[in-house]
Amino acid sequence: MTANTLSTDEVKHAKPSVLVLGAKGNLGRAAVQAFAAAGWRVIAAARSTMDFPVMENLEHLLCDALDTSKLIAAVGQVDVVVHALNPDYARWDTLLAPSTAAAIRIAQGTGGLLMVPGNVYNFGSELPALLSEETAFAAHDGKGLLRIQMERSIAAASVQGLRSVVIRAGDFLGGNRSWLDLAITKSLHKNVVTRMGPEDLPHAWAYLPDLAEVFVRVAERRSSLSGYQVFHYPGLSASAKEMHQALESITGRKLRAKALPWWLFKLIALVSPLLRSVVQMRYLWQRPHQLVSTRLENFIGPLPATSLQQALAASIR
């Protein structure tokens, strides 16, 4: 081997590296695919076997993210850590803080930039129609307060030297177990579209492949980031009526609109922690809201912008 020739291992580790925590979740899976496609060395970490296609630059790591010492020892140094851990929705009060603390420790131990998906819960049940990086948090209880506490813990760690970035986005389009497949298109085979609220209120959505691309492009500019940063990804803004029309166009069928039976959800929520959590977030379908940002576009350039119809077509395929 000459001085100008790298061994296979050296070439492998010369690539930028990313550790994706929660690689089997919706965002985790999208992030693994996007970083791998961009030529990164990707370490996909999850507690059970993963079914990603075989790729030269993709490594699987079976582990519990809460076992941080073992995980750090297995991974070594990485450039980026994506916190895509997705605690059970009904158990955020007990799982969100430990998973966040674990992600912080892992990023500190591996030296990577910690990248975190944010959502709109922080703005509370009276959230304004336009949400920028300067919009004040206003949640006082429930999941919104838990998300505020989560982001504050990351910001506090950044004061101690952690580099971190939160990329805030709307509800996911794509993947599984989302509002789209669990509710809106659940009865599409019966030519029915479920409406979560009034038909004319804008709602914030993020098509997962586009959001994952944003993560990659921000990560590629990591040398320009310091401390704790927040970006908003506007994604797609669509009302129930616009979703309905797009689904009719995709399917080529006339679809009937049916309101979600929130009264039934409230009744079942008396004995179901999961539906209790869902009912708590009903306000997101009763308040018009969309994410706005010039900061992200100024940082990475023109944003990924798959159309609503294309995103829905890919998501329900």
What digits encode the pLDDT tens for the residues 83-127? 999 888 888 889 999 999 999 999 999 999 999 999 999 999 999
The pLDDT, as a whole number, for residue 7 is 41
pTM of the predicted structure, to 2 decimals: 0.93
Q: What does the CA dihedral 272, 189, 252, 26 come to, rounded to 10 degrees?
A: 50
Within the chain, which residues score under 50 in pLDDT? 1-12
The pLDDT, as a whole number, for residue 191 is 96
Comparing C-alpha atoms, which of 180, 149, 130, 23 is closest to residue 86? Answer: 23
The pLDDT, as a whole number, for residue 2 is 28
292 secondary structure, DSSP code: -
**Residues 6 or more apart whose Cβ sits within 8 Å of residue 180:** 172, 173, 312, 315, 316
Is residue 102 within 8 Å of residue 153, measured between CB atoms? no
Q: What percent of the chain has pLDDT over 70?
A: 96
Hey, which CATH number is domain 8-316, 3.40.50.720, 1.10.150.20, 3.40.190.10, 3.40.50.150?
A: 3.40.50.720
The pLDDT, as a whole number, for residue 10 is 41
The pLDDT, as a whole number, for residue 62 is 94
The pLDDT, as a whole number, for residue 45 is 96
The pLDDT, as a whole number, for residue 13 is 53
Tell which phi-psi region holds residue 235, choosing left (phi > 0), alpha (psi between -120 and 50) or beta.
Answer: left
Alpha carbons 53 and 33: distance in angstroms, whole number? 9
Alpha carbons 33 and 54: distance in angstroms, whole number? 11
Rg (CA), the chain: 20
Alpha carbons 229 and 219: distance in angstroms, whole number? 12
The dihedrals phi and psi of 145, each to the nearest 5 degrees, come to -65, -35
Comparing C-alpha atoms, which of 27, 30, 109 is closest to residue 67? Answer: 109
96 secondary structure, DSSP code: H
